Amino acid sequence: MGRSRHPAASRKIETRNWKSEEWARSVRLRSGKVLLRFLERLTLHEVYDLPDKARERFYVKALCKAVVELSTCEVQDHESPDFLLDRNGHRLGIELTTFHFPPAPGDRPRQEQQSLKDRIVEAAQRLHHAAGGPALYVSVYFDGHQTLTKKDTKPLAQAIADAVLNYPVPNSVKDPSIEIPWDHRPERIAGIRIHGSLNSVDKLWQSDNGGWVAEISSDHVAQVVRTKAGRVSLARRNCDELWLVIVEDLASNAAPAEISKEALETTYEAPFDRLIWLLPHGPQAIDLRLRLAVDWR
């Protein structure tokens, strides 16, 4: 079964065009603690829209909050490794990578259906906003037994928007989430779950990914480690210690996935001094078991 994607709490900031050249320049000009304090205030939807390097800085900030020993470290942008942290003269290198669940072979039809789902939900959000609806976090689950076509986009988007507009919704993120009952939602929709907004401004509407959350196995994690191992030789020239941080971010546009118990309990062979699975919106840093191969040093 699918599960709702509950947003993490954050503080209100004014709306910005994250992809504008002016804002990108301002990010490059900001440095150290100033930018880290700025990124700490971002909402879930704003993290999704950040330029790549700014999003990585958000992840580093989350890492420093989750790992107590890093809470007072100075952070410096770098290329290899991605970031350097100064720990009383000891240079800690951080390699960051966001986990994306790999598509299954022959998955093109599913991707096409997912693209239509995303388009319908985006249109529903615009219609809801245009009609004066409040900011919400909305998850829409489609009936997997019916194939979508392009002609479904407008009528289904309108029906979803109307269903949300016409049903009592939570006033804030502190209120319990609600599920719109079957007799108040469109026929082709299997479920609509709604959370109240964090600050009456931030909003995020998402479609399901086939009604399930993919399980991340130890093989998936090991593949990420092998891919990042190619950067180790150069990265170690610039630091005294090197960590690999794998980010599982619900704000990304990747398919929803959750690391399995088996993956958490596996020991990985890797050329890093520490291997961390990071949930940035908690934040929570999970140490994965690591065996450092001597021939990778």
Q: Where are the domains of the chain?
A: 108-207
CA nearest to 2, candidates 136, 121, 139: 139
Average pLDDT over residues 215-241: 92
Q: Report d(CA 132, CA 130) in Å as an integer.
A: 5
Which residue from 286, 263, 282, 128 is spatially nearest to 192, judged by alpha carbons? 128
Task: Determine how many CB atoms are found less than 10 A away from the CB of residue 144.
Answer: 13
How far apart are alpha carbons 266 and 262 in whole angstroms? Answer: 6
State how far the Cα of 63 lies from the Cα of 252, in Å rounded to an integer: 17
Average pLDDT over all residues of the chain: 80
In sequence order, the 6+-apart residues with CB closer than 8 A to the CB of 110 are: 104, 210
Whether the per-residue pLDDT at 224 is higher than 50: the answer is yes
> Exposed, middle or buried: residue 7 (CB in 10 Å: 0-12, 13-18, 19+)?
buried
Distances (CA, A) of 63 to 1, 13, 118, 191: 30, 22, 30, 34
pLDDT of residue 251: 59
pLDDT at 13 over 60: no
Least confident of 58-67, 128-137, 168-177, 247-256: 247-256
- Amino acid symbol at 171: N
Q: For residue 92, what is the enclosing H or E element?
A: strand 90-98
User: What is d(CA 37, CA 65) in angstroms, rounded to the nearest whole number?
Assistant: 12
